[in-house]
Amino acid sequence: MRDGRPARMGTDAPAAVAPASGGARAHPTATRGTRPRRLGPRGAGPDGTRSRRRRVDLLPYVLVTPLVLFIIGLAIIPAGYTLGQSFFRVQELDPPTRFNGLDNFRALLADPAVRGSVGNTALYILIGVTLSTVLGLVMALTLQHKFRGRPILIAAMILPWALPGVVEGIVWSGIWDANTGLLNSVLTSLHLIDQYHVFIGTNRFLTILLIEIVQVWQITPLSALLILAALQNIPGELYEAANLDGCSAWDSFRRVTLPLVRPGVAVAMVQAVIATLNVFDQPFVLNGAAETGASLTMQTYFISFQNLDFGQGYALSLLITVLTLFVSFVVVKLVYRPVEF
Amino acid sequence: MISMRIGARSVCLAVGATGLSLVLAACGSGSSSGGSKAASTATTGVTITVALASDPPPKASLDEFTKSTGITVKWSNIDWDSLQTKITAAATAKTYFADATDVDWSRVGQLAKLNAFYPMNEYVDTKSLAPDMPQLTSFTTKGNVVGIPYDASFDVTTINKKMFDKAGVGRPKTMTAYTDALRQIKTKGLVQYPLDIPFAAAEGLSTYWYQATGAFGGTVLDDKGKPQFADPQSPGYKAAQWMVDAFKSGLVPPGNINVTDSQGQQTLMAKGLVASVFGDYSGTVGSLYDVPASSKVVHQVTYLPTPSVDGQPGPNNGNPDGIGIPRTAKYPKAAAKFIEWFTSAKNQADFAGLNGPEKALPAYALPSHLSVVKQMATKGQLIGGDQLATMLKSTSRPIFAGGAPSWYPEFSRAVYTNLHSAASGAQSVDSAVKAIAATADRLSSSRS
Amino acid sequence: MRRRIRPRWFGVAFILAWSLIPLYWALNISLQTDAQVGSRPAHYFPSSPTLRNFHTLLAGSGEIPGQIRRSALNIFVECAAATVVTVLLATLAAYAFARMRFRGRSVLLYGVLATMALPAYATLIPLYRIMSSFGLVNTYTGIVLVYVSGFLPLATWIMHNYMTSLPVSIEEAALVDGASRMGVLWRVVLPLARPGIISTTIITFLFAWGQFLFPLVLSSDLSTQPLTVVITALQGRHVVPFALLSAAGILAILLPAAIAVALNRYIVSGLLTGSVK
């Protein structure tokens, strides 16, 4: 490392990190906009060129094939089926299956229940991704460096994720319940309210917020784990060097930690987007099918499994997929920076 | 992130692969799954899978069955909501998952339309069952019996007689008297909110409304599925108005905007926080309110004949659970034998505990055989048994005379979401009722 | 680094409170009867704690203990198998994506990652049909295959990130020294990527642990039903046994917690290596 200080991080600057060990590298590696370093076939230089004619290298294909087989067989093909069926009228109560072009999509976009649930789901995503990422970051930072009892804390942190969904629903509805719930009870015991309040079911925003808090409680361990693993990658020497240079704790957080943890944060955020965009259990258990909190996935369930209109159900699943891809892409573009040590 | 250099060849490969998948998918949609051999007609020496949302019968009973018929039973206990999802998934994918499974009264029309179940009348003598099994009619649609009811659940009003007696209001026989009684209980300070109505946007709200409609003297749909409640003078409209008014005028706890039927029974009625549940389920006194581990009002709750408009006992809508044979069953004949056995009067007597606790089925509320209910009442083993037997015989009736329509789940969802939003103030009762009626009109004309 | 003490205590307190208060509430309910649950005001501690719910689940007469035991075995087998296969395949593929150039690399990587966007209902019925046509319904194999296909994309992404962030110079040096590429992977990259592997393992396992919808549809009976399905089945049609379900939930989290404690050393040494390279 040349002078112990990471290159300046601006919002547009490449995420440049000098390698921590190994030989002397004269310059930080700016990796944004260039390909990560790759090894060519054996004996070749770093850019993969050889002076002799290249043979077809089979090893990467061998390594990748099992993965690709799984994905094609059990993800792409079913997805293709869904894609295909979404252009057909597949209404079990009204056979036979027949082609009807974009009608399924048109019907969905005109359905007020679907439209309402888009708005609800947008709120779920906004609240859920923000909260789980911030809280996950806080938890990961707390656990970043060694201290006594850290393993126990990690185990405690994971527990919400391990609780079965049905029990999570019971516990949290026992907390939010308007007639006999814990929150009401605590507030009453503290004399902050004099009668039990209705938290879920009347005000739309409050309803969505409280429902989403339950989901955040469940998914934050995942964000925290992802970010924690990324934090582990940051060499301690960087912090020491920042220290030596006179950086305060906040400075070294801002200039060392935050930029270098971006890949982990990006993965965590994408996972949060997927989880919140597909939220189903929490609103269903806590608020039934009410419009005030119905999510897109709930609509998919109703349309497919109650109305038995599987064509529309597949079409809606497709729309959800596209939405997920879009939002994830935006998140990745904004947050992800490749990092190499 | 990663280099965006994607070669043209790679793009062609990707497009080709996707196209191939689509072609395969389109072809695959018509063919049935590979495992569909012709269903076996074997009735002995086989193992059948039974998937129900209840505990299995005691091992001793099942062993007896296996000994006498040579059929082994594998039981699969799945919760009711998930089981419905599974039944639908298997019906759509035309896949085997069980030889006998749950047929809910609300899905009779849908499952019949899907032709997902064998007509039971071809396997079991349903004609001779009918007199002793009044709720068989709920399972009969277009002449076919889709399932056999194995319990006799119906809607019934429960009251906390201690509170009613303390308020001196007796046993109301009309809806007006009933509502007055509740008001008295409130003003006398016995409970703050005397009535439980589960206004959560879930199925329990729909059945509550059907029961209230019956009390006001009518039905919700006619036999063609057309709505009967759009007119403000109609029983259904009045029932909806009554429910929402009760909520808004402080007869129902405000928190009930989000309380389901079972939640209301367990957390309010069983705790003495309300005085009555208008649309409770038969058997709850024995299975919930009189169980010390679950209730604080032991021996305080009793059934009330449904209040009506003219003072005569009103109807009790039936919502029984049935068992039927999916078309994908491997051993339909063996399954039929099992169903016959499971729903026989003798077994129901055993399950109800009439012949000793080792043969009893836990949480078995009410048999579907009238004769067994009467037996239980005589032996004093059914709390409120006399009342229940009377109701089962004379006032219980199917919610839909010709079986639930094939589009019932979609209709029910319109009912509970609209009634919920009317209670929460998001729309008026009038607009809610109109929305429900519009859904019924649309569904009944587009689907038969 | 000692200077972080004060903010850290807030973090520690937050983690404990946030994670454990609702779980304490579940424990509290599990030690009561349904009659006591939902009192006004609530019982913050069980007024007369009872173990009957746990007894019903573990040692009572009736079907439940057998169901709990068998489904606990099922979930453990399914999750462990799915995790092992997923992490193995993801690591191999991630190495190829990270360090090798080959035709179709970007398409394949993007394509695999993009399948994360597929919601469950988009693939549920088609997968059901596929598994059924291969006779894999109600088998461990079928369930594990579906799990693996669902968790591979995220696992691959995590491992890929990890491997690309490792300094190439070490691997190059090993290659120049005459190691084969698989040797480099095995002896150089994997040890360096241990935090990635451990975190991928934990994450995949926990994802598999929480599955409900897919095993509900893909398993027909107790021979393959995981704990999540059996616990949900404890709900009755008209009566929800709150206390019993809470007790079941406590048992359900004890299992991964016990695994975490048993494997604590590997987790600490693998995941929390800090930055010594």
Which domains does chain C possess? 75-208 (1.10.3720.10)
Is position A89 within any domain?
A: no
The chains found to touch A (3+ Cβ pairs under 8 angstroms) are B, C
CA angle A109, A114, A117 (to 5 degrees): 135
> Which residue in the set B21, B258, B268 is minimally distant from A80, CB to CB?
B21
Q: What's the number of CA atoms in the CB half-sphere (13 Å) around residue A321?
A: 23
Q: Taking a C-beta distance cutoff of 8 angstroms, is the pair B23, B50 a contact? A: no
Q: Which of B1, B258, B413 sits opposite A178 (nearest CB)?
A: B258
Question: Which of B81, B108, B258, B262 to mutate to probe the A interface, most A CBs <10 Å?
Answer: B258
Q: Are B80 and C239 in contact (CB under 8 A)?
A: no
From CA A94, how far away is CA A88, in angstroms rounded? 12
Query: First and final CA of chain C: distance in angstroms?
Result: 18
In chain A, residues with a C-beta closer than 8 Å to the C-beta of C258 are none
Residue C269, chain A, CB below 8 Å: the answer is: no
Contact B417 A289 (CB under 8 A): yes
> Would you call C77 an interface residue with chain B, using a CB distance cutoff of 8 Å?
no
Does residue A223 contact residue A268 with C-beta atoms inside 8 Å? yes
Nearest to A212, CA basis, from A280, A162, A112: A280
Cβ proximity of B304 and B12 under 8 Å: no
Cα–Cα dist B122/B103, whole Å? 17
What are φ and ψ of residue B75, in 5° steps?
A: -100, 140
Residues A111 and B160: their CA atoms lie apart, in Å, by 44
Chain B's closest residue to C121, CA to CA, is: B89
Supply the pLDDT for residue A20: 35
**φ/ψ of residue B316, rounded to 5:** -120, 110
Q: What is the pTM assigned to this prediction?
A: 0.88
A124 is a domain residue: yes
DSSP type of residue B399: S
pLDDT value at position B416? Answer: 97
CA distance B133 to B41: 28
> Is position A265 within any domain?
yes
Q: Is the dihedral of CA B428, B429, B434, B439 positive or negative?
A: positive
With CA atoms as reference, report the closest residue to A297 among A336, A328, A323: A323
Nearest to B294 among C33, C40, C125 (CB): C33
Domains of chain B listed by start with CATH number? 47-152+319-396 (3.40.190.10), 155-318+407-446 (3.40.190.10)
Count of domains for chain A? 1
Helix axes B235-248, B175-187, angle to 10 degrees: 0
Check A70 against C227: CB less than 8 A apart.
no
- In this complex, is the C-beta atom of C47 within 8 Å of any C-beta atom belonging to chain B? no
Residue B60 Cα distances to B68, B349, B361, angstroms: 12, 15, 11
Tell me the residue ranges of DSSP E strands in B155-259: 155-160, 195-196
Inside any domain, residue A14: no
Pairing of strands A98-99, A88-89: antiparallel
**Res B34: pLDDT:** 40
Q: Report the CATH number that the domain containing residue A133 is assigned in CATH.
A: 1.10.3720.10
Q: In angstroms, rounded to a whole number, what is the distance separating the alpha carbons of residues B98 and C222?
A: 13
DSSP string, B336-378: HHHHHHHTSHHHHHHHTTTT-GGGPPTT----S-HHHHHHHHH
Interchain CB contacts (distance < 8 Å): A and B? 131
Residues in chain A closer than 8 A to C159 (CB atoms) = none
B308: which DSSP letter? Answer: B
Closest CB to C233 among B78, B92, B287: B78
Count residue pairs from B and C with Cβ separation < 8 A.
Answer: 140
Alpha helix locations (H) across chain C? 5-30, 52-58, 64-99, 105-114, 120-133, 140-165, 168-176, 181-183, 190-192, 194-209, 213-218, 227-232, 242-262, 264-271
The Cα C72–Cα A164 span in angstroms is 12
Q: Which of A92, A320, A326 is nearest to C122 (CA)?
A: A320
From the list A36, A84, A290, which residue is nearest B26 (CB)? A84
Interchain contact, A73 vs C154, CB within 8 Å: no
**Confidence at residue A285, expressed as pLDDT on a 0 to 100 scale:** 92
Name the token pair of B110.
């849908």
Chain C environment of A132 (Cβ under 8 Å): none
C83-133: pLDDT as tens digits: 999 999 999 999 999 988 898 999 999 999 999 999 999 999 999 999 999
d(Cα C109, Cα C97) in Å, to the nearest integer?
A: 7
pLDDT of residue C269: 72
Closest CA–CA distance from residue C226 to any residue of chain B (Å): 12
User: Which C residues, 110 through 129, put their C-beta within 8 Å of a C-beta on chain A?
Assistant: 111-112, 114-123, 125-127
Which residues does chain A have within 8 Å of residue B327's beta carbon, measured at their own beta carbons? none
- Judged by CB atoms closer than 8 Å, whether chains meet at C106 and B49 is answered as no
Does A160 reside within a domain? yes
Of C163, C158, C166, the C-alpha closest to C113 is C158
**pLDDT (0 to 100) of residue B23:** 46
**Containing domain of residue A123, as a range?**
107-335
**Three-state DSSP class for B42?**
coil
Do the Cβ atoms of B126 and B120 come closer than 8 Å?
Answer: yes
Cβ-in-10-Å burial (0-12, 13-18, 19+) of C63 comes to: middle
Question: Is the Cβ pair B25, C126 closer than 8 Å?
Answer: yes
φ/ψ of A259, rounded to 5, equals: -65, -35
Q: How far apart are CA C63 and CA C194, in angstroms?
A: 43
Taking the Cβ of residue B202 and every Cβ of chain C, the question of whether any pair is shorter than 8 Å is answered with no
Is the residue at A199 inside a domain?
yes
Contact assignment for C119 to A300 by CB distance below 8 Å:
yes
Strand partners, B48: B73
Interface touch C233/B77, C-beta < 8 Å: yes
- The pLDDT of residue C22 is above 90: yes
pLDDT under 70: residue ranges of chain B: 1-38, 448
Q: What is the pLDDT along chain A (341 residues), one digit of tens a residue?
A: 223 222 322 233 333 333 333 333 333 333 344 445 565 555 444 554 544 555 677 889 999 999 999 999 999 999 999 999 999 988 888 888 888 889 999 999 999 999 999 999 999 999 999 999 999 999 999 988 888 888 888 889 999 999 999 999 999 999 999 988 899 999 998 998 888 889 998 889 999 999 999 999 999 999 999 999 888 888 888 888 888 888 888 888 888 899 999 999 999 999 999 999 999 999 999 999 998 999 999 999 999 999 999 999 999 999 999 999 999 999 999 999 888 88
Q: Alpha-carbon distance A154 to A132, whole Å?
A: 16
User: Is the pLDDT confidence value at C63 over 60?
Assistant: yes
**Which residues lie closer than 8 Å to C209 by C-beta, 6 or more apart?**
A162, C75, C79, C228, C256
DSSP B305: P
